[in-house]
Amino acid sequence: MSSKVLTLGQARWAEFLSEFHFPITYFPCRLATLPDALSRQDNVYPERGMDFISKNPQNFHQVIKQDGIQESKFFSIKVEIFSDLVDKIQKKVWQEKDYIEILKQLARGESVTYYSLEPQAKLLLFKDKVVIPSNEEFQLNILQRRHDSPLAGHPVQEKTLKLIKRDFYWAGMKHFIKDYVSSCQQCSNNKNIHHKKFGLLKPLQIPSGPWSSLSMDFITQLPFSNNFHSILVAVNRFSKNGHLLPNLWNNHCPGISSNLYQPCLSQT
């Protein structure tokens, strides 16, 4: 009888379990009904949610009193994070043509659908989110804090949008964030590769005879000459003999093949 060769992981567990003295007995699945049933009963030990709290009240205590939960206090925390932008955003929003009439109505105490004024900083809110003016400087500043900062960790487009939509709003923010994240150099460098590995490069087969295999390319953006502005370069891979043919860059396959036939294929 030979001993089994353990892997590194199995060896670590074997060393750890050797410190305990207990018998290990194997039970087939059909005989291990009692432990399996206990592990599957939800009412024995709820994993999460209010059921877990109600069955284990000794493990929880209220951190924030109910009377201390006020919207204005939590909004002030949010404003403090961007305190250097509050005054600039407030002044710039009052200069926006799209929001001047809304701000005037709110200043008179009138109600506007989805819009409101924050009582402390006097910022314009859209669905309780700070309205950012159509100024790329402010938008980039917020994006850099919610995407580029070490705490944000360069999230993907959808997560970056969700992070910003928690507190801010501006027109066209979805496309702006999409363009910003897609052009982020650090995200591109650290992006995970999800496609299969590329195959190995393989050489082209050796041609069997003259003009049996061609390689072609275009020289474009040339000045017009005799109604042509590009050159079709066709090389016979067998003899390396090349032909320079006048061509139009927007020419389609039938036109290219007809131009190629007379000087090249007629020599086969």
Q: Do 140 and 183 fall into the same domain?
A: yes
How many CA atoms are closer than 13 Å to the CA of 175, on its beta-carbon side?
A: 2
Q: How many domains does the chain have?
A: 3
Q: Do 219 and 260 fall into the same domain?
A: yes
pLDDT in tens, 40-94: 555 555 555 555 556 556 555 555 555 555 554 444 445 445 677 787 888 888 8
- pLDDT over 70 at 171, yes or no: yes
The residue among 114 and 76 whose pLDDT is bigger is 114
Q: Is residue 203 part of a domain?
A: no
Range of the domain at 169: 136-189
Place 185 in a pLDDT band, splitting at 50, 70 and 90.
Answer: confident
Please give the model's pTM, rounded to 2 decimal places.
0.46
Cα 265-267-268 angle, rounded to 5 deg? 75
pLDDT in tens, 232-252: 888 888 988 888 888 776 666
The pLDDT value given to residue 59: 58
d(CA 184, CA 153) in angstroms, rounded, equals 12
Q: Is residue 27 part of a domain?
A: no
Average pLDDT on 5-22 reads 83
Average pLDDT on 184-204 reads 82
Q: Do 157 and 119 fall into the same domain?
A: no
φ, ψ dihedrals at 234, nearest 5°? -115, 125
